[in-house]
Structure 1
Amino acid sequence: MSAGLVIFLHGVGSRGASFAPLLTQWGADLPTIALAAPDAPFTFDLAPDGRQWFSIKGVTEANRTERIVAARQAFDDTLRSCISEAGFENRLDQVVLVGFSQGSIMALDAVVSGRWPVAGVAAFSGRLASPPSYAPSTETRILLLHGDADPIMPLQEVHGAAQIMTTIGMTVTCDILPGVGHTLTSSGITRAQEFIRTLLLPGSFAS
């Protein structure tokens, strides 16, 4: 039986397969952890071979929240399928979500809304855009990773998210990556992996 499950949630216009190199690396580094990287449920508006968790066509600060809420059912169905397939239905405290960009938005929404009391979320280049009816499990740990040169998600988004989640009783670590744009880097990936080891493999830091 696996010691935990990590679910990777891709950004808008991408697919789960974009995480293939990362899954190969983490499969070797974390052999006792099950890994999943599903496709988002909806076809990307701007390119038919991409997927999206919600549409960004005409998205504004005013309508983003309602789009997230509308996407919850399809997101939950996707997550439930991954968790069931891996046999973690009754082991959510051994599940970690790793999101990038729009995947981070949905992962943070999943935990602040109280729908998914998982062990933790590692959110790259995201923002908290959920409606303020928060009911999180305070056992869920949050790692926010954000480049200080991100042209897509302004740096203030990560600071705002950290402040709100801390205020509602969550344990949040915020790592600002110098010189990093809207992308995954080896340093950020290493930090996320360390975070996951802490949650799912305590006492495993032999190296």
Structure 2
Amino acid sequence: MVTRIDGPRVAAKSRTTKQLIVFLHGYGADGNDLIAIAQQWQNVLPDTTFVSPHAPEICALAPQARQWFPLGFPLSEDDPEAHWAGLEKARPVLDAFLDAELKRYGLSDANLLLVGFSQGTMLALHAGLRRPQAPAGILGYSGMLVGPEHLASAPARLVNGQRPPILLIHGSQDDVISAEAMFVAADQLAEAEIPCQWHLSTGIGHGIDGGGLQHGAFFALQSLKIKRPNAAV
């Protein structure tokens, strides 16, 4: 039986849900960590419902928080195969949650945007590229790509047969996951013919700044094919 997850939500400002954005938090946090982004985006995404599920496992290093799978530190010395195994274990949990949420609102993956931070970015890329139908887009902050050698077998496609668009955003001063991970991931995705944009937030550590949020909101509008409103992000 697949573990069920849930977390905080922000309902569509218009009260009519036409799109769904799912936030995937980082290691040692929970769904409350990212849901505040919804408050900043909902003016330009008024028909979007936002949800930020808590990861299924208690965090090994912070019992009051959650993890999608175990991690060792520093990550540069951790076992990539363990990351892959952890992602494979977490993927069906996330897929079941996404399927239920899309059914709840009568939507398809074409109306879904995955947004990850750190470990959540690892999962967003891993699961998003392996959905039966790809989400409209994948936005990853401060993360990394696990298992690039498996990208050729990642089946997810949009309804038009193309790969889903990806935007990676990273702080130049990140001392948890180096910004180099973003450039490596972008190159690996390009080699697999998966389109990927990137943005480097100058002077930012392992976090998200205002510029990163703005780029993310514009990517959401573009991916979900929403006409850009006049409201400020």
TM-score (norm 1): 0.89
SS at match of 2:168: strand
The answer to whether structure 1 residue 7 and structure 2 residue 22 are counterparts is yes
Unaligned runs of at least 5 residues, structure 1: none
* Higher deviation after alignment, 154-163 or 128-137: 128-137
Moved over 6 A (4+): none
- How far 1:179 moved relative to its partner? 0.8
Distance 1:115 1:151 in 2: 35
1:196 aligned to which of 212, 220, 223: 220
How many residue pairs are counted as aligned between the two chains?
A: 205
The answer to whether structure 1 residue 61 and structure 2 residue 80 are counterparts is yes
Q: How does 1:10-89 map to 2 (within 5 A)?
A: 10-57=25-72, 59-88=78-107
Q: CA RMSD in A?
A: 2.0
Please say if residues 25 and 119 of structure 2, whose CA atoms lie closer than 8 Å, have aligned partners that are also in contact.
yes
- How far 1:35 moved relative to its partner? 1.1
Aligned to 2:9: none
Please say if residues 93 and 117 of structure 1, whose CA atoms lie closer than 8 Å, have aligned partners that are also in contact.
yes
* Higher deviation after alignment, 58-67 or 125-134: 58-67
Unaligned runs of at least 5 residues, structure 2: 1-15
Aligned to 2:191: 167
* Higher deviation after alignment, 77-86 or 123-132: 77-86
The answer to whether structure 1 residue 135 and structure 2 residue 150 are counterparts is no
- How far 1:4 moved relative to its partner? 1.3
Distance 2:167 2:119 in 1: 16
Spell out, residue by residue over 1:79-109, the C-alpha distance to the aligned partner (whole angstroms, 9 max, x if none): 3333333332xx1111100100011000000
- How far 1:205 moved relative to its partner? 4.4
Distance 2:62 2:25 in 1: 15
Amino acid at match of 1:106: L
* Higher deviation after alignment, 37-46 or 51-60: 51-60
SS at match of 2:98: helix
Query: Percent identity of the aligned residues?
Result: 27
Amino acid at match of 2:93: A
TM-score (norm 2): 0.80
